[in-house]
Structure 1
């Protein structure tokens, strides 16, 4: 689903040509996500068929026509639905998670927090499993190299978990500050 999100989000900012969408996606997501032609153009066609995008044909002197895609109101609504839809099974997919994070500016704070909480719950499960593997007693002792890989995975998971927990706490504190400001303005 992340490919649908990035395509709609790129069009949310401004109308674009297909090639431009591909290039901007790579920049916007730091290379973590890319979209190939086999995904991009059928998805644009699908969005056009359901009224989420409109295609404008732009004539070029001495070159083939270009297709410029515009996001419609239906497309904006669909983008919101896709961004908010982040069930636990998608939380395991880094591309799905980081795509939503990249477009947090299109969501309200509560929806952002829910996405972070879902990813945190996933990471806690991963960490619990990795720690269980590390402590496995008996004859199944890991040799040096698998131990190092496992230790790295634990460290990486803990690092992301802490990053998200800190970020979530910052969001909560920021929301409290906004609520306090609102209360003072009412008084």
Structure 2
């Protein structure tokens, strides 16, 4: 997900490594802060793969700073990653939010809708966090107040996301039909 975030933010504008790190931290928040020891090797891998370029720029002090930019190959790779996210990026909420943060960059509304339909199908598949010998329990019947909280929160967020997905798919389908 780190590479997707790097490509996504650089698609928006060229950035210094420090600024890129701040934006990634804001995206992932407290869930998974990004360390320099993780970010800079990822940048180097993407640069070696020809997906981004580094341009030296005079620094305020003596040392030059480097501005990172997306290459045409990097843009194509970003679009591929957005159009064809792996299953874990669809089913894992934190990974899904990273895909969702940059999905607007995918230029084809039909391709965007395809990704959203995968998430919709995942959310529409019945699931339950807690099972016992008799099967899944309803939140209202859960004797443990903390597990009941997990179930109630999951239900509410899923309901909100399903409504948003359906509304957005209607809009994207109309755009795809018009275009």
State TM-score, norm by structure 1: 0.77
Q: List aligned pairs for 1:57-68, cutoff 5 A.
A: 57-60=56-59, 62-68=61-67
CA distance in 2, matches of 1:110, 1:26: 30
Contact 1:90 1:96 (8 Å CA) reproduced: yes
CA distance in 2, matches of 1:157, 1:83: 22
Q: List aligned pairs for 1:133-148, cutoff 5 A.
A: 133-135=136-138, 142-145=142-145, 146-148=147-149
CA RMSD of aligned residues (A): 2.6
Aligned: 1:154 with 2:155: yes
Aligned: 1:111 with 2:111: yes
Aligned residue pairs, count: 170
Q: What's the offset of the Cα at 1:69?
A: 1.4
After TM superposition, the structure 1 stretch with the greater mean CA deviation from structure 2, 37-46 or 91-100, is 91-100
Q: List aligned pairs for 1:22-171, cutoff 5 A.
A: 22-26=21-25, 29=27, 31=29, 35-60=34-59, 62-107=61-106, 108-125=108-125, 128-130=126-128, 133-135=136-138, 142-145=142-145, 146-171=147-172
What SS is found at the alignment partner of 2:85?
Answer: coil
Contact 1:55 1:70 (8 Å CA) reproduced: yes
Q: What's the offset of the Cα at 1:78?
A: 1.3
Structure 1 residues 9-54: Cα deviation after superposition (integer angstroms, max 9, x where no partner):
2222222110111223455x48477533222211110111111112
Q: Where does the alignment leave 5 or more consecutive residues of structure 1 unmatched?
A: 180-187
Q: Where does the alignment leave 5 or more consecutive residues of structure 2 unmatched?
A: 130-134
Which residue number in structure 2 is paired with residue 185 of structure 1?
Answer: none
Contact 2:47 2:53 (8 Å CA) reproduced: yes
Pair member with larger Rg: 1
Q: Which has the higher helix share?
A: 1
Give the 3 Å change call, closer, same or farther, for CA 130–17 of structure 1 in structure 2: same
CA distance in 2, matches of 1:162, 1:81: 27
